[in-house]
Amino acid sequence: MKALLAQTRAEVFMTLRRGETLLLTVGIPVLFLLFFSSVHVVTTPTEAAVNFFVPGILSLAVMSTAMVSLGIATGFERGYGVLKRLGATPLGRPRLLGAKIATIVAVELVQAAVLVPVGLILGWKPGGHGVVAGVPGSVAVVLLATVAFAGIGLLMAGVLRAEVNLAAANGLYLVLLLLGGMVVPIGKLPGGLASFAKLLPADALSAALHATLGAGVAVPAESWVVLAVWAIAAPVAAAVSFRWE
Amino acid sequence: MPAVQVTELTVRYGSAGAVTAVDRLDLSAEAGEVLVVLGPNGAGKTSTIESLEGYRRPTSGRITVLGLNPISDHRALTARIGVMLQNGGVYPMIGPRRVLDLFASFYPDPLSTESLLDLVALRAVAATPWRHLSGGEQQRLSLALALIGRPEVAFLDEPTAGVDPEGRRAIRAVVADLRAEGVCVLLTTHELAEAEKMADRIVILSAGRVVRQGTPHELIGAAATSGLTFGAPPGLDAVSLAGALGTGAVVTETAPGRYRVDGASGPAATAAVANWLAERQADLTDLSRGRNLEDVYFEAVGAAARGPAEPDVTVVAGRRTRRTRRGRRPHEVR
């Protein structure tokens, strides 16, 4: 437990010290939320744009942290020889992974603590019984999505060189941002592309949060299924391809 | 049982094992022994050490470290070994004190961060991020990380590379302390003078195989006081020099610019070499009596360290032979 806590502290410390990570995980989501909620470049299915964008940007925040930030950082840690060095200590793979997951959850809490008040200030009105009622389903689906996105990030970090991984992670971020129903409603996509997008974890998460925090209804079954498949397949693939160096 | 035991270790890389990095290598090291592994780049040093550390699965052969298998018993072994990587291995944005505190949390009975900062002289830069440390400071921090868990076996990969003379002395002192505490130290280096100072035993690898091993005294041996070795411009006329030294003298250019004289020694031979070079306006860069580890090393690794284009030239009292194939011992023509 001592090693896990120390490694988690170190990971959180380094995450908070990386300016580019804070920009990606907090700065860009806040800017997107402010911009898209104030400038009507996208027609949203909700009456007030902010009611669509808060769940969408929360989904984006989860993806930024669990997939992009984790994947890029892990790729560079391999490049610096840090993973190799840790591999020769008693820390072990499970505790290293545990520390990284705990760090992601901590950053996601910070993101929620920033984005939810910003959304409320912008006039966000959660549907159904309000934001509190949507919390349990949202938390569960965010945790599942976190595992799925972390698996994708670690898989890419495991098979690509650090610099290539950096470019690929950012590229995938953009693709999922556009196809994931986060800022562009899935209904705006052409039929074939929309069908494909529904198989992606980004859309599954945003659809789930639009349901729980937007419409105030339960997480759709399709979201659970898609996220569960990704949450199993991606970490397994990452574990198989994992290299200390 | 030796602390480290390697039997018939083979490591191959590439598709279908096309590249053989280590070839049926045998090695052992005892507790309280400093074993220095020497060899040119590509000799198999790193592949061997990484197999011992559990990073690399051998193609064949048997390895035990403290009686454990580095692959299947990796978790148990990590608490008992210390590893110093050749490069990196530390988060770039955190400093020595923070990284030592972090690594200390991984071990049941670690050395204290403060004592290690003093031991490797990093107290003044304890808060400086790794990426802003000098090369020598980074090396000393890597060494401290290898020691923090009170290892029974320490693997030190080129610990003195890029370190200034004061730092090297400090590292030699640390290695001597480890030996005194009964730690088995396996150390790789390209620096032969450091190897000679630190080693209880030396193993010289070439093309994945052990080509020479023994204590420094055994390797340098009786030849330590016979003959001469000197440095001068490469490609000198060894025929002429052997002739100047007199009957029975053997002159060998062991590496470009490194010469060995056998069969002649003493003040007369020293003067003959110096005069012969002076007549040709050739600088004598160093001259010593007998052989040193560098001579033994170059003999052992042979043409592998010199490259295919550099022939060995051995001349005995005016007769010479050239050797152009790699890996063959020079022979004399009388």
Q: Is the pLDDT of residue B187 over 90?
A: yes
Share the mean pLDDT of chain A.
90
**Are B105 and A5 inside 8 Å of each other by CB?**
yes
Q: What is the pLDDT of residues B80-97, one digit of tens each?
A: 999 998 887 899 999 999
pTM: 0.79
If you measure CA to CA, which chain A residue comes closest to B84? A85
Chain B residues near residue A90 by CB distance under 8 angstroms:
75, 78-79, 106-107, 149
pLDDT at B48 over 60: yes
Residues 6+ positions from A37 with CB-CB distance below 8 Å: A49, A50, A53, A54, A119, A122, A123
- The candidate with the shortest Cα–Cα distance to A115, out of A144, A138, A137, is A138
A22 touches chain B (CB under 8 A): no
Interface test with A, best of B105, B131, B155, B156 (most A CBs within 10 A): B105
Q: Give the tens place of pLDDT for each residue, B102-140.
A: 999 999 999 999 999 999 989 999 999 999 999 889 999
Q: Is the Cβ of A92 closer than 8 Å to some Cβ of chain B? A: yes
**CB within 8 Å of B201: residues ≥ 6 apart:** B29, B33, B34, B35, B36, B213, B214, B215
The two beta strands, B258-262 and B250-255, are antiparallel
Overall average pLDDT of the B29-57 stretch: 92
* pLDDT, mean of residues A125-135: 71
Section B191-206 average pLDDT = 90
A 10 A CB-CB count for B248 gives 11
Per-residue model confidence (pLDDT) at position A45: 79
By C-alpha distance, which of A107, A108, A141, A113 is closest to A214?
Answer: A141
State mean pLDDT over A214-238: 92
Chain B residue with the nearest C-alpha to that of A5? B105
Is A80 in contact with B78 (Cβ distance < 8 A)?
no
Alpha-carbon distance of B299 to B311, in angstroms, equals: 13
CB-based contact A87 B55, cutoff 8 Å: yes
pLDDT at A233: 95
Contacts with B90 from chain A: Cβ below 8 Å: 80-82, 85
Average pLDDT over residues B203-220: 89
Q: How far is Cα B90 from Cα A86, in angstroms, rounded to an integer?
A: 9
- The string of pLDDT tens digits covering residues B241-298 is 999 988 788 898 888 888 888 888 788 889 999 999 999 999 998 888 777 787 778 8
Element (H, E) at A162: helix A162-179
* pLDDT tier for residue A106 given thresholds of 50, 70 and 90: very high
